[in-house]
């Protein structure tokens, strides 16, 4: 046999022998043995867990209970009645399930504090992975149980009621909502690149919201990439697509009382400079060197738009998760933010004693769904019609729509 062939066979034999040795040694390593089926500390959950001790004591003090759960005992019990059937688990012969009241308490505590899963797991004497599963499931259940009651898709009569609220409280006619975006700071997801990296040099998801005059969220869109601007988030959202194609079921153009000579004006949303100027979306006049009339218009628009900033402030003050860096996956973060928004409406309606929605007459005609998946949109260039409409609103606020104190502000 040729010497070269013998050398190659010898090298292959040595390599195979080494691989076999490595495999054999790996099989000889002791396998990790699970020490406990349930850790002894966790077995004392029913006797020493936070829900079974502290929470029961808090029920004796209304003020402390409110601070702990961000709601009263009566409201929490009502919420449990709505969400409980969706989060109840079945006991098995191996272990008892965690009850729906305790599962709801764990999720609400996470939303109210933003503490880590490990911190809540130690307090409630459950596993960290159990907390992760509970937060995801309960947050989704809260949204499912409350969205139709507390944040339904507005219809024509709902938009009219919102416009009446803005006219009464903020002296802005034909306004059906204030729109803005909020960056929810998250830990950078794996392999996400710069998708979530925003202009504040953090990673975030975008919460795009429309708020009425009572600081209630009427439309929310969660999940936009942090690198997108408010205008880009609107363009890529289902709400933005519906706004552009006219399928939001907004009321028809209306003549403002006392301003008949200006003709009918459309119902509009108000936003800041980050949003485009559209037929149904007003933004301030850009630039610094503006006429007094335009500065007055910008002031009146910003005064009405302030409700969405206040709503975001109320939301993040009540649910402190939004003031921390959220370390969950973007999917779970989206569920938690949506749950916080619908809980905000649920609690806010209790405060202002407002019905869940404006009663409307049932129609036999089939209604096309107003919010659907949105494709990529075009540019944000304003049309001549939208520019003229803004000028008309500007003239109105400087003449018949002026209020006595605006001259002292601008």
Spatial separation of the C-alpha atoms in residues 335 and 341, rounded to whole Å: 10
Q: What is the pLDDT of residues 89-107, one digit of tens each?
A: 998 887 889 999 999 999 9
Q: What is the pLDDT of residues 380-408, one digit of tens each?
A: 457 889 999 999 999 999 999 888 888 88
Q: What is the pLDDT of residues 11-62, one digit of tens each?
A: 767 777 777 776 676 666 555 566 767 788 888 888 999 999 999 999 999 9
Q: Are 181 and 207 in contact (CB under 8 A)?
A: yes
Residue 181 has pLDDT above 50, yes or no: yes
Residue 354 has pLDDT above 90, yes or no: no
CB atoms within 10 A of CB 264: 11
In this predicted structure, what is the pLDDT of residue 223? 87
Q: What is the pLDDT of residues 143-163, one digit of tens each?
A: 999 999 999 999 999 999 999
Per-residue pLDDT, averaged over 347-362, amounts to 63
Residue-averaged pLDDT of the chain? 87
Residue 409 has pLDDT above 90, yes or no: no
Q: Are 208 and 181 in contact (CB under 8 A)?
A: yes
Lookup: tokens for 9 = 């066979």
Residue that has been written with the tokens 């009427």 in this structure: 218
pLDDT confidence of 116, banded at 50, 70, 90? Answer: very high
In this predicted structure, what is the pLDDT of residue 25? 63
In this predicted structure, what is the pLDDT of residue 76? 96
Hey, where are the domains in the chain? 40-149, 152-353+383-403
Q: Are 194 and 225 in contact (CB under 8 A)?
A: no
Residue 196 has pLDDT above 90, yes or no: yes
Residue 287 has pLDDT above 60, yes or no: yes
Residue 4 has pLDDT above 70, yes or no: no
Per-residue pLDDT, averaged over 199-205, amounts to 93
The CA–CA distances, whole Å, from 183 to 35, 151, 323, 334, 403 equal: 43, 21, 10, 12, 34
More confidently predicted of 300 and 27: 300
Spatial separation of the C-alpha atoms in residues 274 and 229, rounded to whole Å: 7
In this predicted structure, what is the pLDDT of residue 171? 93
In this predicted structure, what is the pLDDT of residue 32? 58
Per-residue pLDDT, averaged over 245-256, amounts to 91
Residue 368 has pLDDT above 60, yes or no: no
DSSP-assigned beta bridge partners for residue 185: 204
In this predicted structure, what is the pLDDT of residue 27? 64
Q: Are 325 and 187 in contact (CB under 8 A)?
A: yes
pLDDT confidence of 257, banded at 50, 70, 90? Answer: confident
Residue that has been written with the tokens 């003449």 in this structure: 399
Q: What is the pLDDT of residues 317-344, one digit of tens each?
A: 999 999 999 999 999 999 999 999 999 9
3-class DSSP string for the chain = CCHHHHHHHHHHHHHHHHHHHHHHHHHHCCCCCCCCCCCHHHHCHHHHCCHHHHHHHHCCCHHHHHHHHCCCHHHHHHHHHHHHHHHCCCCCCCCCCCCHHHHHHHHHHHHHHCCCHHHHHHHHCCCHHHHHHHHHHHHHHHHHHHHHHHCCCCCHHHHHHHHHHHHHHHCCCCEEEEEEEEEEEECCCCCCCCCCECCCCCEEEEEEEEECCCCCEEEEEEEEECCCCHHHHHHCCHHHHHHHHCCCCCCCCECCCCCHHHCCECCEEECCCCCCCECCEECCCCCCCCCHHHHHHHHHHHHHHHHHHHHHHHHHHHCHHHHCCECCCHHHHHHHHHHHHHHHHHHHHHHHCCCCCCCCCCCCCCCCCCCCCCCCCCCCCCCHHHHHHHHHHHHHHHCCCCCCCHHHCC
| CA-CA-CA-CA torsion sign (235, 280, 239, 87) | positive
In this predicted structure, what is the pLDDT of residue 132? 96
Residue 204 has pLDDT above 90, yes or no: yes
Lookup: tokens for 48 = 């020493």
pLDDT over 90 for what percent of the chain?
Answer: 65
In this predicted structure, what is the pLDDT of residue 96? 87
pLDDT confidence of 270, banded at 50, 70, 90? Answer: very high
More confidently predicted of 368 and 145: 145
Residue 362 has pLDDT above 50, yes or no: no
In this predicted structure, what is the pLDDT of residue 383? 85
In this predicted structure, what is the pLDDT of residue 17? 76
Spatial separation of the C-alpha atoms in residues 240 and 238, rounded to whole Å: 5
Per-residue pLDDT, averaged over 351-356, amounts to 66
């Amino acid at each position: 046999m040729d010497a070269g062939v013998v050398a190659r066979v010898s090298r292959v034999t040595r390599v195979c022998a080494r691989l076999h040795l490595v495999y054999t040694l790996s099989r000889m390593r002791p396998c990790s043995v699970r020490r406990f089926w349930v850790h002894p500390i966790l077995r004392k959950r029913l006797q020493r867990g936070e829900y079974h001790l502290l929470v029961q004591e808090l029920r004796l003090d209304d003020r402390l209970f409110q601070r702990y759960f961000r709601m009263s005992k009566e409201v929490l019990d009502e919420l449990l009645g709505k969400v409980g059937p969706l989060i109840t688990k079945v006991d098995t012969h191996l272990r008892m399930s965690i009850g729906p009241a305790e599962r709801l308490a764990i999720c609400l505590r996470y939303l109210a504090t933003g503490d880590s899963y490990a911190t809540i797991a130690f307090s409630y004497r459950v596993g960290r992975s159990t907390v992760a599963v509970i937060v995801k499931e309960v947050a989704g259940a809260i949204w499912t149980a409350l969205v139709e009651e507390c944040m339904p898709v507005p219809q024509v009569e709902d938009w009219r009621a919102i416009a009446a609220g803005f006219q009464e409280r903020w002296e802005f006619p034909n306004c059906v909502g204030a729109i803005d975006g909020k960056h929810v700071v998250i830990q950078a997801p794996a392999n996400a690149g710069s998708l979530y990296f925003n202009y504040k040099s953090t990673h975030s998801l975008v919460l795009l919201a429309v708020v009425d005059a009572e600081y209630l969220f009427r439309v929310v869109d969660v999940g936009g990439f942090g690198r997108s601007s408010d205008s880009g988030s609107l363009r890529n959202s289902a709400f933005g697509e519906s706004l552009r194609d006219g399928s939001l079921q907004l009321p028809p153009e209306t003549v403002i009382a006392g301003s008949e000579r200006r003709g009918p004006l459309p119902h509009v949303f108000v936003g800041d400079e980050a949003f485009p100027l559209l037929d149904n979306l007003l933004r301030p006049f850009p630039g610094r060197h503006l006429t007094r009339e335009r500065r007055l218009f910008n002031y009146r628009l910003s005064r009405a738009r302030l409700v969405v900033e206040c709503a975001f402030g109320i939301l993040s003050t009540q649910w402190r998760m939004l003031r921390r860096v959220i370390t969950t996956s973007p999917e779970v973060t989206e569920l938690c933010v949506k749950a916080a928004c619908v809980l905000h409406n649920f609690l806010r309606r209790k405060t202002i004693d407002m019905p869940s929605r404006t009663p409307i007459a049932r129609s036999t005609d089939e209604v096309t769904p107003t919010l659907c998946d949105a494709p990529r949109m075009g540019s944000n260039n304003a049309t001549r019609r939208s520019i003229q409409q803004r000028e008309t609103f500007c003239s109105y606020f400087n003449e018949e729509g002026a209020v006595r104190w605006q001259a002292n502000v601008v």
